[in-house]
Structure 1
């Protein structure tokens, strides 16, 4: 018996991570078939190298997955758009978007499916832990006064700071209705913040967000944006750059002029906070974090200056 609303598909955006597909997507596909034997698995393999493309082709062929092979790197949001569009065109009514460095069990899939079965404009996500059981995602709030982030569990009663909750793109259950309501991901972000943007678009269009606390996924610590050994806190240069840049892109997309100016003034401070997510030791081991800081701050200021004028008149609702 299928527990999903109609047809079900799994979409993974891959970049130089064929080994993670073998480790995680094989598990996800097996679990998914337990709730829908006709589930389709779609891998969008963003271009990284010929060797990685061949490795992705091999694992897809071995497991009877559909591999979509863009000639370029379309980014995470662009890759999700390609994969989900194909899944819906093939008749899917529900799509699980999951990172190559994550996996989820069948009971959690059932819970996500049942959450949206009678609430078709709801975007759903499980709680996500790392491979050692520590919480990786349990709901995050975007604080609207300065664009910083706060874990949902750190909300304080009586705190008047305005905030917007969002769901992580590492594992999302997306119905056809949600996709049509929100219009897909904004691929201008390329990496990071596109899930924040998508969550807001869902709510703005009349949908809702559901963190399904009884459902759980595991985020593999050997993920795609580490810059050193697995135990290092350091992230990649791309992680730092796009997190700094895209905070301001979100602001000009969604906030009014006064909020954009306030976020712009805090660019250096919030950029430092992003860099320090990787710890201080990385700063003496590599120039990449400092390089990402200056590139990100420069681009964030350019976006605020040039794109802010184009967005004039947009108000937070």
Structure 2
């Protein structure tokens, strides 16, 4: 059975196109021309030229901004293009993630049957170890939690943006990713907005994606941007979705969270790059704290989480 005509794929790339060549070419050739959109966030001229050549060879549509839009804005741009071309089912996938045709077809079929549901496959590392099979936000501890057993469909759940299947109607209803996150936590935010609007989340344990974790990074360890974004966006998420008591708690727990983020690249990497990483953690925490403080000092009615329209029944026209 071939992939449906109304399916489109969005991939946000940064850096050389090696991962696109390895993971997207075979799958992309199973789709109609124009149904694969690569958003190439600018890194260098050499990378842009190589990515442009690959896209032209494969018949992919290339969105090539002159700067780095960030992950959320890149996905939004690709999704808009595909929806304008009539795609009603969207696969959002990282360049360092690989899924086979059968997995895509299963996700697309379920998306048509339940268009108010965000879906993610089970995600493993190249060695077969589990990377993501569900996530939840531990509100009390001020952090996310993944691994077995974590049920994304439970209250507080979320799905990884590394590989998502979403119906275009749901995507439009939610407004896509919040671009103010730029990088990291935008998938947690989208998941919570989906749940608040009456949608559901599901991890498909019968579908597996292989994710070369960190494959999009040029160096080993975690970059200052990674550290900054996680520290800032955690508090941005709290300011948007949590009550004052929990925002204050998350704010007080920020040093503990920042220390944990700094350790994710390993102690050796932290020792080698201590100054830029520590500065990134401090800057990100301060930036996020500013957002949190605005919530804490705002009048009580304005502090309530933004009202999200409840989903009307979405009909699959096909």
CA deviations on 1:19-59 (whole Å, 9 max, x unpaired) are: 111111113314xx1xx556711001111121111111011
Contact persistence 2:111–2:117 (CA under 8 A)? yes
300-309 or 212-221: which moved more? Answer: 300-309
| 1:163 to 1:245, Cα distance in 2 relative to 1, 3 A | farther
Determine the structure 1 residue equivalent to 2:126.
Answer: 131
Give the counterpart of 1:314 among 296, 301, 304. 304
| 1:166 to 1:236, Cα distance in 2 relative to 1, 3 A | same
| 1:168 to 1:13, Cα distance in 2 relative to 1, 3 A | same
| Structure 1 residue 306 displacement after superposition | 3.2
| Structure 1 residue 17 displacement after superposition | 3.3
Determine the structure 2 residue equivalent to 1:242.
Answer: 229
Determine the structure 1 residue equivalent to 2:42.
Answer: 47
Give the counterpart of 2:240 among 243, 253, 257. 253
| Structure 1 residue 155 displacement after superposition | 5.2
Whole-angstrom distance in 2 between the partners of 1:171 and 1:134: 17
Alignment of 1:298 with 2:315, yes or no, is no
Q: Secondary structure at the match of 1:62?
A: helix
Determine the structure 2 residue equivalent to 1:159.
Answer: none
CA deviations on 1:206-250 (whole Å, 9 max, x unpaired) are: 11111111011111246113632xxxxx21111111011100000
Runs of at least 4 residues off by over 2 Å: 1-4, 36-39, 225-228, 306-313
| Structure 1 residue 90 displacement after superposition | 0.7
Alignment of 1:225 with 2:217, yes or no, is yes
Determine the structure 1 residue equivalent to 2:27.
Answer: 28
Q: Unpaired runs of 5+ in structure 1?
A: 157-161, 229-233
Give the counterpart of 1:212 among 204, 211, 215. 204
Whole-angstrom distance in 1 between the partners of 2:116 and 2:150: 26
Whole-angstrom distance in 2 between the partners of 1:126 and 1:171: 7
CA deviations on 1:278-317 (whole Å, 9 max, x unpaired) are: 2212222113322222222222222212355458331499
CA deviations on 1:150-192 (whole Å, 9 max, x unpaired) are: 2252459xxxxx9611111100001112102211110000000
TM-score, scaled to structure 1: 0.89
| Structure 1 residue 269 displacement after superposition | 0.7
| Structure 1 residue 8 displacement after superposition | 0.7
Q: Secondary structure at the match of 2:198?
A: coil
Q: How many residues align?
A: 302
TM-score, scaled to structure 2: 0.89
